[in-house]
Chains A and B, each alone.
Chain A
């Protein structure tokens, strides 16, 4: 990545951090202001700067966003924040950014602090366009999971406030957060499943050529799929509600994020 691209990504990181602080101050009511408006502007600016950084990366190197961790995460964050802001506008709930902003910040921070190059993966990707679609669809799955995580977290915060007899008007109604969790998790699960199946089909098609049968990233993806499958079955088919199911969504996302950022494919020599 060029220095200019890195600089843009760092600037977007600062915007996300600023937005996080503004949303936190607003929600904790340290000061009674309309800080969430500025937080939203920070998120939008951060996303624009992020997109410019990504475009520069493509223009200078000619490499796709899948060529390294920074640009890959940037792409995911742009899509994630975009959907988050659209959801906020549609639901008219002012503080969706409260969870979107810190998640965007942490996602961007990780690859900048721990740059991971995956030339091996990139060279394999160039050979198999099928894999490019697999990565893209899987990433959309992760975006859905991230949005479901945000909505579930808002649900749990709002529930805690109401249990204490406190009223937090800057968070959406419990029902709204619950419904948003379900739809986001449903969409994420659909993409993730397609991505997972595509990955497995490729793996069985090229046995032992690139990845071994015990590749950790593949096996680590299965618990995520299972956790979301349980959640969607309980909520969509059994019509179950309640906080325990939201914790399932939170756990599923934490696992998925750990897998996405912390585990690498082990390519065979």
Chain B
């Protein structure tokens, strides 16, 4: 029995190929049915995200990889030779370490992203729903989910934000312990500002004021964030009332001057003011940085925060690799323990056969025994065989769980000349 995976990801295939090999929700069930049906795999799961498509399968024989390749080409109507350079193939416990790395987010385009963990879970649930996941893939994926969670709780791989918009919100949370009840002023428009504002709303900012040179645009944005519209000329009137200012206009000069903020801070009695200037050229006079309790971040500052967060995540990769390797070792032991069952059964079958052979051989000499005595002799032999094999069975189960369990079991197989390699 072999565990195999074939797949492609953002490192091995361009987006044109990746999008062709993606399994939409509608095709996933049919694909799984085909794998465990006509393709004759014992178990199968499909992990399909925007950056990867992978098939995990358990099969008899060692041609599993080739069969998955043929399935992929057929399923998506592609030429197998065209696909070949983009695909990677892994077998045995290499499959496990790969899936563990994927679940931990260190094989992702954005290191440490958490979405992948949900996608691994969905993939397992889909396979369970289609009855395509059996003992081995259930165990493998459950372990992947476990190590993925451990990576995010025991290391900093998922810490810090990696986009400008979310980094701005992270900065805000370093100034204000709670964002609910705070008031934000959005000046201008633009995709990045809209995204940042959306994150602020999501984290519970209480009140939104939108100011724009075009009143219609201001009203439109205000509606989108359930806020109030304001004319650009009137922003100084509201400045003392807001805690967060995000500015992104196309104005050639400063929209917010230092004096404006100085006056506002006086009225605010020094309460902290958080300002984000994502406009180029800048909207906010950098002199405001010198004012007490005013925190201004421009696009370069935000990019620096993102870069630093990315670096910190990269530093954590080593720790995550160790976790994944530990889980692989445990999975390996679990796989070995699967081998113990067939070996013990083979030994017991051998003992039973010997008992029957011996009884047969002694049939003539024991002919004088009554039926009751014959039953007693048979029971005695069975009891002897069972007692003789009890301790070895216990030890085999223990050995199977050790790191070199596979080798130890192989020695026992050879010593007793039994073939217990069939899996349960």
A contacts, CB < 8 Å to B:
32, 158-159, 162-163, 165-169, 171-176, 179, 238-245
By a CB distance below 8 angstroms, the chain A residues around B315 are 32
Cβ of A241 and Cβ of B270 under 8 Å apart?
yes
Closest to B265 in A: A242
Q: Are A241 and B293 in contact (CB under 8 A)?
A: yes
- Which chain B residues border A171 with CB–CB below 8 Å? 174
- B223 is an interface residue with CB less than 8 A from chain A: no
Closest to A174 in B: B175
Let me know if B285 is at the binding interface, CB within 8 A.
no
Contact (Cβ within 8 A) B289 A163: yes
Complex CA distance for A174 and B303, rounded to whole angstroms: 22
User: Which residue from B156, B160, B272, B312 sits with its C-beta under 8 Å from A174?
Assistant: B272
Residues of chain B lying within 8 A (CB to CB) of residue A243: 292-293
Do B269 and A174 touch across chains, with their CB atoms under 8 A apart?
no
CB of B177 closer than 8 Å to a CB of A: yes
Residue pair B292, A242 in contact (C-beta under 8 Å): yes
| A32 touches which of B171, B174, B293, B312 (Cβ 8 Å) | B312
Known contacts A168-B174, A173-B173; decide if A238 and B269 are in contact (CB<8 Å): yes
Q: Which residues of A contact B271 (CB under 8 A)?
A: 241
Known: A32-B156, A239-B269, A241-B269. A167 touches B292 (CB 8 A): no
Which residues of B pack against A, CB within 8 Å?
Answer: 156, 159-160, 170-171, 173-178, 268-272, 289, 292-293, 295, 297, 301, 304-305, 308, 312, 315-316
- Within 8 Å CB of B175, what residues of A? 162, 173-175
Query: How far, in whole Å, are A214 and B196 apart by their CA atoms in the complex?
Result: 62
Residues of the B chain whose Cβ atoms lie less than 8 Å from the Cβ of A240: 269-270
Residue of A nearest to B156 (CB): A32
Given A172-B177, A241-B272, A167:B171 Cβ within 8 A: yes
29 intermolecular pairs with C-beta atoms under 8 Å apart = A32-B312, A162-B295, A163-B289, A163-B295, A165-B297, A165-B304, A166-B308, A167-B170, A167-B171, A167-B305, A169-B160, A171-B174, A172-B177, A173-B174, A173-B176, A173-B177, A174-B174, A174-B175, A175-B175, A175-B176, A175-B272, A176-B177, A238-B269, A239-B269, A240-B269, A240-B270, A241-B272, A242-B270, A245-B270
Central interface residue in A158, A174, A179, by most chain B CB within 10 Å = A174
Measured CB to CB, the nearest residue on chain A to B176 is A175
> A162–B268 Cα gap in the complex (Å)?
20
Judged by DSSP, the binding face of A is: loop
User: Closest Cβ of chain A: how far from B186's Cβ, in Å?
Assistant: 21
- For the complex with contacts A162-B171, A240-B270, 18 further pairs of A-B residues with Cβ separation under 8 Å are A158-B174, A162-B175, A162-B295, A163-B289, A167-B170, A167-B171, A167-B308, A169-B159, A171-B174, A173-B174, A173-B176, A174-B174, A174-B176, A175-B175, A175-B177, A239-B269, A241-B268, A241-B293
CB-based contact B174/A167 at 8 Å:
yes
Q: Which B residue's beta carbon lies closest to that of A239?
A: B269
When C-beta atoms are compared, the residue in chain A nearest to B301 turns out to be A165
Give the chain B neighbours of A172 by CB distance below 8 A. 177
Which residues of A are found within 8 Å of B297, using beta-carbon distances?
165
* Alpha-carbon gap, A175 to B244, bound state (A): 14
Hey, which chain B residues are within 8 Å of A173, CB to CB? 173-177
- The residue of chain B having its C-beta at the shortest distance from the C-beta of A161 within the complex is B174
**Distance between Cα atoms of A166 and B293 in the complex (Å):** 15
Which residues from A are CB-within-8-Å of B295? 162-163
**What's the Cα separation between A158 and B159 when bound, in Å?**
19
Q: Give every chain B residue within 8 A of A176 (Cβ-Cβ).
A: 177
Chain A residue numbers with a CB within 8 Å of B173 are 173
Expressed in whole angstroms, the Cα–Cα distance for A244 and B265 within the complex equals: 14
> Cβ of A159: which chain B residues have Cβ within 8 Å of it?
293
Across the interface, name the chain B residue whose C-beta is closest to A29. B312
Closest A residue to B159 by beta carbon equals: A169
Please indicate the chain A residues that have their CB under 8 angstroms from the CB of B176 in the complex: 173-175
CB-CB under 8 A for A165 and B270, given A173-B176, A242-B292: no
Least CB separation from B243: chain A residue: A175
B177, B289, B301 pick with most chain A CB within 10 angstroms: B177
Complex alpha-carbon distance, A179 and B289, angstroms: 23
Chain B residues with CB under 8 A of A165: 297, 301, 304-305
A6: shortest Cβ distance to chain B, in Å?
41
Output the least CB separation between A178 and chain B (Å). Answer: 8
Q: Which of A179, A238, A242 contacts B293 (CB 8 A)?
A: A242
Give the top 6 A-B pairs by smallest Cβ distance, nearest first: A242-B270, A241-B270, A165-B301, A173-B177, A176-B177, A175-B177
